[in-house]
Chains A and B, each alone.
Chain A
Amino acid sequence: MHGVSINTQNRRHADSGIKWRRGGLLAAVVCLMLQTSWARAEVDLSGTYAAVQGEDTQIRTEGPDFADYTGIPLSDEARAAALSYTPSTISEVDRQCVPYKIHYLLQAFWGFRVWATTDPISGKVVAWNYSGTTDRQPTTIWMDGRKPPADTALATPGGFTSGVWKGNTLVATTTHLQDGLLTRNGVPASDKEVVTMFLTRVDNVLTITGVIQDPVFLTAPYVLTNVFSALPNQGFGSAIGASLPATCMPAEEVPSVLNGKVPSYLSPDLNPNLNTVSSLYNIPRESTLGGEQTMYPQHSDQIQSKYRPPAAYCTVSCCGAAMGLGNLGYAKQVLQCK
């Protein structure tokens, strides 16, 4: 009996404790409800991504053909500079890294990783980061509202990037970019370039729309897209490029080629590749040399009478598909098309 009495007393104490705790919990819930607001969520971009887009496969892999500027709204000055370009240029140590500015993210098949930097006190996201890949610099997208550096601040290969959310799209704007190349076949990009990227993740697909503005070398915004697939259940190595070193390291690779000379074609007419695309694909030179007009549909009507599809079966860059997924090897895909 004694034991029962103690148990009863204990139960009473326990019951009263439970009631007190219930009451406290209820009060806390009510208090929180009164303090609660609802908002539209930002998207967690964290993860490892593989490039999967099927467009521009040749440009993203082997690289663009020589003197192929189709669909690029380049200015006359940019075209002249591009035609003076020779691939030997990147044998110069100080120019080896120039093709790989931030917009290379839109023009390559490399995957990448995204992670957040959070404030240790508030837990808020201070910055989103995405990895560089072999040649392209890593990028930090500052989300804390900090102002960009002064216009006179040092321009760098990575530039300065700030971001804001518009719904489920992260809008990232990059300024202070060092001059370099817009494309790997020599179209130049100036240090006045501004790159705006719209990053939208829906389910496991991340679509990036990039708008490149350059008042020096472009006559209109140059808009490119790239699509990536998140790989939540696979390791870093599953996306090609997502785990590669992230810095372009200049090195004297073939010193005998240059022998102290600065490689370039002094006149565009001296460029032996001027007609490469025309001879390979029958595309008229007025198209291959690019310009704003070549990216609009009516241009296809304008060249219709001058174009005939090549009669011969394709021999150059015929196959190859999106190769960003490590489990779909490039060689395997090319072989399957043969």
Chain B
Amino acid sequence: MNGKAQALFDPSGDWVALVTQDWRYRMVVPGPGQYSGIPLNLAAKQFADNWKAADYTAAGKACAAYGAPALMMAPTRLRISWQDDNTLRVETDAGQQTRLLHFRDPAPGAASLQGDSKAQWLAPPLVMNFGGGGGPSAAPAPKYGVLRVSTNNLQAGLLRKNGVPYSDKTILQEDWMLNSLPGAGEYLTISAIIKDPEYLRADYYVAPVFVRESDASKWQPAPCTLTAAR
């Protein structure tokens, strides 16, 4: 079966970020030295302390803050669709980026801003109960679960628009979870672990949340920038 047929939930549609946490670092460009929350090491701090947005912009690297490890924390809307039966396409209006989540091994290529993302569904395990009848095939198909996305082959980039870096050795692991609450909305939580042996001295955990929107009327594409939040 392909990734679409095995889907434990359907993430396709329009989503908007709920920026209720880390507001000061996500909704505006943080000032110099505002590194709170990131377990950065001394090399990362020195990099960030000496970093200049103007230099990056002039070098054509304005999209460095929109790579996969930082993108889902941006104040953005998401448009998620099935590109084919084995590829989820995730577009952002902030920075106009596209992530492709592959349920088959992605073709090897050069390192990139969004890297190579391998996706798999994690269903609750099957267990045997005594009583009743039938075998594993009689078990009900799972309706809930987690979408695990593992991303590598990344170009170096920025975790924050004040220069906090991540290296090209970074590995991103995300668990995408869909939670519904009748009358209150449908929420997509992306629980992410960012591992960077070059610039982080511990794993960096973030869990941005998106709420489903009924249509794409508020979709507002904006180019990459290092001088504004989105």
**Which residues of A does B touch, CB under 8 Å?**
32, 34-43, 52-58, 70-72, 166-169, 171, 196, 198, 200, 202, 205, 207, 209, 211, 213, 221-227, 229, 281-283, 287, 294-301, 303-304, 307, 309-315, 317-322, 328, 333, 336-337
Contact = CB atoms under 8 A, between A and B. Distances in A.
Interface residues of B, number: 84
Most buried by B among A36, A229, A313, A317: A36
Contacts of B123: 40, 167-168
Nearest to B122: A202
Contact of B144 (A53, A166, A227, A317): A166
B13 interface: no
Nearest to A53: B205
Of A225, A322, A333, the most chain B CB neighbours within 10 A belong to A225
Contacts of B131: 35-37
B66 interface: no
Contact of B209 (A202, A223, A313, A317): A223
Given A37-B132, A41-B127, A167 B142 contact: yes
Interface stretch (B25-33, B56-64, B80-88, B106-114): B25-33
A41, A54, A226 pick with most chain B CB within 10 angstroms: A54
B16 A297 contact: yes
Given A34-B133, A38-B127, A38-B129, A309 B230 contact: no
A33 to B, nearest CB: 8
B40 A337 contact: yes
B205 A168 contact: no
A312 B136 CA distance: 63
Contact of A322 (B37, B76, B130, B142): B37
A70 B27 contact: yes
B24 A70 contact: yes
B41 A336 contact: yes
Contact of A167 (B143, B189, B202): B143
26 contacts: A36-B135, A38-B135, A38-B136, A40-B140, A40-B142, A53-B205, A54-B206, A55-B21, A57-B37, A71-B19, A171-B179, A207-B191, A209-B189, A221-B184, A283-B24, A294-B27, A296-B17, A299-B75, A300-B27, A300-B28, A300-B228, A300-B230, A309-B32, A311-B32, A319-B35, A321-B36
Given A53-B207, A312-B31, A223 B130 contact: no
Contact of A38 (B20, B36, B128): B128
B144 A168 contact: yes
A307 B42 CA distance: 29
B54 interface: no
B156 interface: no
Identify the interface centre among B29, B38, B136: most chain A CB within 10 Å of its CB: B38
Contacts of A56: 21-22, 37
The 6 A-B residue pairs whose C-beta atoms are closest, nearest first, are: A167-B144, A314-B33, A37-B132, A297-B75, A310-B31, A225-B207
A310 B130 CA distance: 65
A248 to B, nearest CB: 24
A54 B38 contact: yes
B37 A35 contact: no
Contacts of A166: 143-144
A71 B205 contact: no
B94 to A, nearest CB: 7
B99 interface: no
Contacts of A313: 31-33
Given A53-B207, A296-B17, 9 more contacts: A57-B37, A202-B175, A207-B189, A227-B191, A294-B27, A295-B20, A301-B220, A304-B229, A314-B33
B38 to A, nearest CB: 6
A321 to B, nearest CB: 4
Interface in B136-158: 136, 138-140, 142-146, 148
Contacts of B32: 309-314
